[in-house]
């Protein structure tokens, strides 16, 4: 019998791609999502891609009674991939309590349920935001964490600490945190992808929406950074590559290959690209004439970061495979699908 995996936040951007990869690997998936930042139609898209419709339950995991009832209803869950969380950096500055409550209480409810229902394994979505602006690049897992720039970033750091302490203290509980760099792109089918509500904060959705005519022009935040072309550098990872890292992490836990009760890995490509390089690559692969201008720096942005992925490569046997070009193309194909552009 195939193992059942709970994917929280499974209708969201990274969650939906991970559900697809888990189902492709033969896992049986049940999604919990409150649909606060995603739509139920994602289930149709997942079914279209994989031929299988995941089970779905709509509720918010901060509700302990509903969480308990869920685990009573699904007694066969073997492991959890936990994505469900608020993720808007700017909004977290405005609403810190909501962010701490939602992101931390849901994690603690899940961990308690794992203990009660003897579910040993969890993979958690963390972020390279925990490194802040590192002194030395690329960033390895030994790079020290820095105080978070935002309540959102702090929820990731505190979540890591909660998992580490709980896994250490609780026999039979193992957790892996994956520290994502910048996830971009969409599934090659163009049936699932990133769908931000309102004006996108992130670079690639803003680019594709501008290319689709929804926004007048892209504003590049700062060209006076200490980088070759003056624009900020990030490590942009294809969302399907990222989704596959979760499948590898789940298999590592299910097969008891973990080296410690709590582990964390950098999940990036190992390559840094500047905003300007990314914009030029987008224009080149899509042929779209993208309007852009340079404005001042955005508050809270760091200058440059990219991953040293050797630990993930060697220890997980996972590696990002897609090129930036095909990833940007997939983002554009998805935007065209959403906007009915041919
Ligand atoms: N960026 C930009 N214009 C935008 C959105 C983002 O120039 O409209 C830049 C941003 O300053 C950063 C990079 O693109 O240098 C990636 O930003 P994003 O918000 O996608 O991810 P972050 O690394 O901030 O989490």
Tokens of 284: 């080149």
**What pLDDT, on the 0 to 100 scale, is given for residue 307?**
98
Q: Report how far ligand 1's centroid is from the alpha carbon of 244 (Å).
A: 24
Instruction: Tell me the C-alpha distance between 182 and 333, whole Å.
Output: 19
- Contact residues of ligand 1, CB 6 A cut-off: 182, 201-203, 206, 218-221, 232, 234, 275, 298, 301
d(CA 141, CA 146): 13
Ligand 1 center–CA 195 separation, angstroms: 16
Predicted confidence at residue 342, as pLDDT, reads 87
When the candidates are 2.130.10.10, 3.40.50.1400, 3.40.50.720, 3.40.640.10, the CATH number that belongs to 4-184+237-267 is 3.40.50.720
Task: Identify which of 275, 280, 294 to mutate to test ligand 1's pocket (most ligand atoms within 8 A of the CB).
Answer: 275
Helix (H, G, I), strand (E, B) or coil at 267: strand
For residue 117, give both structure tokens: 């229902």
From residue 180, how far is each of 28, 63, 136, 138, 189 by CA, in Å? 24, 27, 18, 14, 23
The DSSP code sequence of 221-258 is E-S-SSSTTSS-EE-EEEHHHHHHHHHHHHHHHHTT--
C-alpha dihedral sign at 215, 221, 224, 226: negative
Closest CA to 194 of 181, 209, 214, 213: 209
Amino acid 221: pLDDT: 98
Torsions phi, psi for 4 (to 5 deg): -95, 130
Is residue 152 part of the annotated active site? The answer reads: yes
DSSP alpha helix (H) spans, the chain: 13-24, 42-50, 64-73, 89-94, 96-100, 106-117, 151-169, 203-211, 239-254, 275-286, 310-311, 324-339
Apex CA 246: angle with CA 89 and CA 274, to 5°?
50
**What is the C-alpha to C-alpha distance for residues 147 and 132, in angstroms, rounded to an integer?**
7
| Cα–Cα dist 156/149, whole Å | 11
Specify the ligand 1 atom closest to the Cα of 300.
24
The CATH class for the domain spanning 203-234+270-339 reads alpha beta
Q: Give the residue, by CA position, lying nearest to ligand 1 atom 7.
A: 220
Interval between CA 298 and ligand 1 midpoint (Å): 8
3-state secondary structure at position 114 = helix
Tokens 């925990």, located at residue: 130
Pocket test for ligand 1, best of 298, 327, 331 (most atoms within 8 A of CB): 298
pLDDT along the chain (342 residues), means of 10: 95 98 98 97 98 98 97 98 96 97 98 98 98 97 95 98 98 98 98 95 98 98 98 98 98 98 98 98 96 96 97 98 98 98 90
Domain boundaries, the chain: 4-184+237-267, 203-234+270-339
Q: Locate the ligand 1 atom nearest the alpha carbon of residue 127 and give its number.
A: 25
């Amino acid at each position: 019998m195939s193992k059942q995996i709970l994917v929280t936040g499974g209708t969201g951007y990274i969650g939906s791609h991970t559900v697809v990869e888990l189902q492709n690997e033969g896992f049986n998936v049940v999604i919990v999502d409150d649909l606060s930042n995603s739509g139920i139609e994602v289930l149709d898209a997942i079914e279209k891609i994989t031929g299988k419709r995941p089970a779905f339950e709509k509720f918010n995991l901060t509700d302990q009674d509903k969480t308990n009832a869920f685990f009573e209803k699904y007694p066969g869950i073997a492991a959890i991939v936990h994505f469900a969380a608020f993720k808007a950096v700017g909004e977290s500055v405005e609403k810190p309590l909501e962010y701490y409550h939602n992101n931390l209480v849901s994690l603690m409810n899940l961990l308690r349920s794992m203990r009660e229902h003897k579910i040993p394994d969890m993979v958690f979505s963390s972020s390279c935001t925990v490194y802040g602006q590192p002194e030395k690049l690329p960033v390895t897992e030994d790079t020290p964490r820095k105080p978070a720039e935002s309540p959102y970033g702090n929820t990731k750091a505190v979540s890591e600490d909660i998992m580490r302490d709980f896994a250490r203290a609780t026999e039979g509980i193992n957790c892996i945190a994956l520290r994502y760099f910048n996830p971009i792109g969409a599934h090659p089918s163009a049936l699932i992808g990133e769908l931000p509500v309102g004006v996108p904060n992130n670079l690639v959705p803003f680019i594709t929406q501008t290319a689709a005519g929804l926004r007048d022009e892209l504003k590049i935040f700062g060209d006076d950074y200490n980088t070759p072309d003056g624009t900020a550098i990030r490590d942009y990872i294809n969302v399907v590559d990222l989704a596959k890292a979760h499948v590898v992490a789940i298999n590592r836990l299910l097969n008891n290959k973990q080296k410690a009760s709590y582990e964390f890995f950098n999940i990036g490509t190992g390559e840094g690209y500047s905003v300007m390089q990314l914009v030029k690559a987008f224009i080149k692969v899509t042929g779209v004439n993208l309007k852009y201008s340079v404005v001042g720096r955005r508050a809270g942005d760091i200058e440059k970061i990219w991953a040293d992925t050797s630990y993930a490569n060697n220890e997980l046997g996972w590696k990002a495979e897609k090129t930036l070009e095909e990833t940007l193309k997939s983002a554009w194909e998805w935007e065209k699908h959403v906007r009915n552009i041919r």
